[in-house]
Amino acid sequence: MLQTAQKALLPGVYEAATPAELSVLTRPDCAAVVWPRCPPEAFQSWLDSLPWQRLPSARVILRPQEVRRAVMQMCRACGTPECAGRAHLIDDIAALADIFARLTRARFLRLRLDVVSTNACRKFHVDAISSRLVCTYRGTGTQYGLRQGSADPAQIWTLPTGSALLMRGTLWPAQPGAGFVHRSPPIEGTGQRRLVLVLDPVDDPDQAI
d(CA 82, CA 97) in angstroms, rounded, equals: 22
Please report the pLDDT score of residue 176 as a whole number: 76
Look at residue 129 and give its three-state secondary structure.
coil
196 close to 113: Cβ distance less than 8 angstroms = yes
Inter-CA distances, 81 with 2, 16, 112, 162, 202, Å: 41, 33, 20, 20, 31
d(CA 191, CA 206) in angstroms, rounded, equals: 36
Give the pTM: 0.92
Positions in the chain whose pLDDT score sits under 70? 1-6, 206-209
For the stretch 15-74, pLDDT in tens is: 999 999 999 999 999 999 999 999 999 999 999 999 999 999 999 999 999 999 999 999
Q: For residue 26, what are the contacts with CB-CB under 8 A and spacing of at least 6?
A: 2
d(CA 209, CA 199) in angstroms, rounded, equals: 12
30 close to 176: Cβ distance less than 8 angstroms = yes
